[in-house]
Amino acid sequence: MVTNATDWSERSLDLSRLLSRASLGDRAAFGTLYERTSAHLYAVVLRINRDRAQAEDILQEVYVNVWRAASSFDAAQSQPLTWLTRIARNRAIDSLRRDRTQPQIQSLGTSAGGTDPEDDSVYDTVADSAPGPLDLLSRASDARSLDECMEQLSALQRQSVALAFFHGLSHAEIAEQLRQPLGTVKSWVRRALQTLKDCLQGAVQRDAARAGD
């Protein structure tokens, strides 16, 4: 396993300190923050936008933004890596919005009609050595002890959620990828997330009850 939940929380305090120093204009602290987080954010961006040149530009925008907005980070409200990931994901998703209107990637879009079933699938265009979205989900669930919650989802529900979350696919793109009707995919995703939410809330309540003993 590459990362685990303990690393995640241990890093938080450290990253919070670096962010608050950066907000005061400390460039060295910002450099350290970049060293410690850029490989993670680059990977997150690269999964959503697989064009390396664009992903590099997005990463650049993300960190310029982080430098400018560092003072708005509130450690009481969110974990620093979550905050950074949110900024990176939003930039990457926005880049798709612009990009997918361009002709060369239309086969990924919603224009179902002329699509050859043998066209490169999204999986094929992801680097072969990279773990698939389902591997990622199971690793992440190790990290958060979510096995139980993830098990409550059907394989197709899990796959739909993973394609949306890790690869930035829209409902229509997932429907095309899995060759399922759009309405079906939408309801899988909706039900999957509801299940996840209920299950996570249950887990939190059990933890709280245990802590109260």
Q: Where are the alpha helices (DSSP H) in the chain?
A: 5-23, 27-48, 52-69, 80-99, 122-125, 133-143, 147-151, 155-167, 171-178, 182-212
Q: How far is CA 182 from the centre of its chain?
A: 22
Indicate which single residue of 122, 136, 156, 182 sits in contact with another protein (rule: CB under 8 A). 136
Of 108, 168, 177, 188, the residue at the interface with another protein (CB under 8 A) is 168
List, in order, residues 6 or more apart from 118 with CB less than 8 Å away.
none
To another protein, the closest distance from the beta carbon of 104 in angstroms equals 19
| 152 forms part of the interface with another protein (CB under 8 A) | no
**Is 165 among the residues that bind another protein (CB under 8 A)?**
yes
Residue 119 CB, nearest distance to another protein (Å)?
A: 22
The reply to whether 68 sits near another protein by the rule CB under 8 A is: yes
Residue type for 112, please? Answer: A
Give the other-Cβ count within 10 Å of 63's Cβ. 18
Q: Per rule CB under 8 A, is residue 46 in the interface with another protein?
A: yes
Q: Kindly state whether residue 188 participates in binding another protein, applying the rule CB under 8 A.
A: no
Contact between 187 and another protein per CB under 8 A: no
Which residues lie closer than 8 Å to 48 by C-beta, 6 or more apart?
89, 92, 93, 95, 96, 166, 167, 168
Residue 153, both tokens: 């989802």
- 130 touches another protein by CB under 8 A: yes
What would you report as the CA-atom Rg of the chain, rounded to the nearest whole angstrom? 19
Closer CB to another protein, 15 or 44, in the complex: 44
| 15/22 with CB nearer another protein | 22
Write the CA distances from 185 to 148, 156, 191, integer angstroms. 23, 9, 10
- Contact flags string 71-90 toward another protein, x per CB under 8 A: xx---xxx--xx--xx--x-
43 binds another protein (CB under 8 A): yes
Interaction of residue 27 with another protein, rule CB under 8 A: yes
Residues that bind another protein (CB under 8 A): 2-5, 7-8, 22-25, 27, 30-31, 34, 38-40, 42-44, 46-48, 56, 59-60, 63-64, 67-72, 76-78, 81-82, 85-86, 89, 93-94, 96-97, 130-131, 135-137, 139-140, 143-144, 161, 164-166, 168-171, 189, 193, 196-197, 200
